[in-house]
Amino acid sequence: MFCCCIFLAVSLLHSLCHFHVSGYDRSCTEYPVFTPSALIVKYGDPANVTCVVCQKDCRGDVFGLEKAVGEVTENGTTMFWTVDRLTEWGIFVMCYYNNDAGDQCTSTLDLTLYQPPESVSISFVNHTGMMFENQQYTLQCSVQNVAPVQNLTVTFYRGNTALGHQQSNSEHKKPVNETFTLNITPSREDDGAQYWCEAKLELGPAGPQRPLVVTSEKLPAIVHCESERKKKNRFTFTCVIFMAVYVM
């Protein structure tokens, strides 16, 4: 009995190992094929994919589709996976069969679940009230609840002019909040200008047709210059800049 248990445990471990690493097993002459080859799904949307387990090397009767959520229907060696609402982050869908050598040949579906930015806002870091010309201030663009953050691009604008594009350094499957910063040096020419930022989730040609773009509110700049009488009757202009939603 004891021996039997060990044997079972060892063979279970063996098959578990194969389960994970056998995707590139040398004895596999072909791998299961998913159609479409990649799925890009919005959080909460339905999804489906077909998997042909094998076309020539499928004499064995050990094959199937492993999934964390959803339903599978089978027709011979063709599997059809479907889910009504995809609301689980970081799930996998995997197709496999055991070949004559007893090795498991597997393919994992390239699945991206995305969430467009819920909101985008712009503000100054550690600054309120008036600003002075030729001094540096830091703008901050805050993007809430977006996934996957590695496909997010944030652009800062002054009017219609892009001041810079930024991307996240982190990778997450689940939605995150992320802030991006840009240093600016306002000048008197900024009078009437508007600063704002835009968050764009780019998922490539297989992604949604319409780009997923969310923009922040606009920060209008108002410049006040005053002449100041200095010694020896010389005048200088001092400009202060107001940039906040409340000055409107």
Ligand X SMILES: *[C@@H]1O[C@H](CO)[C@@H](O)[C@H](O)[C@H]1NC(C)=O
Q: Whole-angstrom Cα distance, residue 208 to residue 68?
A: 24
**Nearest to ligand X of 192, 208 (CB atom):** 208
**Nearest to ligand X of 26, 76 (CB atom):** 76
**Nearest to ligand X of 102, 129 (CB atom):** 129
Least separation, in Å, of the C-beta of 207 and ligand X? 7
Q: Which of 93, 71, 81 is nearest to 48 (CA)?
A: 81
- Token pair, residue 60, equals 């064995």
Q: Whole-angstrom Cα distance, residue 57 to residue 170?
A: 41
State which H helix or E strand residue 5 sits in. Answer: helix 2-21
Least separation, in Å, of the C-beta of 241 and ligand X? 19
Residue nearest to ligand X (CB): 204
**Nearest to ligand X of 126, 134 (CB atom):** 126
Least separation, in Å, of the C-beta of 118 and ligand X? 8
Least separation, in Å, of the C-beta of 175 and ligand X? 6
Q: Whole-angstrom Cα distance, residue 11 to residue 26?
A: 20
The percent of the chain in helix, strand and coil, each rounded to the nearest 5, is: 15, 50, 35
**Nearest to ligand X of 75, 161 (CB atom):** 75
Residue 74 sits at the vertex; the CA angle it makes with 55 and 8, to the nearest 5 degrees, is 85
Count CA within 13 A, CB hemisphere, residue 119. 3
Least separation, in Å, of the C-beta of 49 and ligand X? 8
Least separation, in Å, of the C-beta of 221 and ligand X? 21
Q: Whole-angstrom Cα distance, residue 239 to residue 148?
A: 43
**Nearest to ligand X of 126, 233 (CB atom):** 126
Positions that interact with ligand X (CB under 6 A):
48, 75-76, 82, 125-126, 144-145, 150-151, 175-177, 202-204
Q: Whole-angstrom Cα distance, residue 125 to residue 24?
A: 49
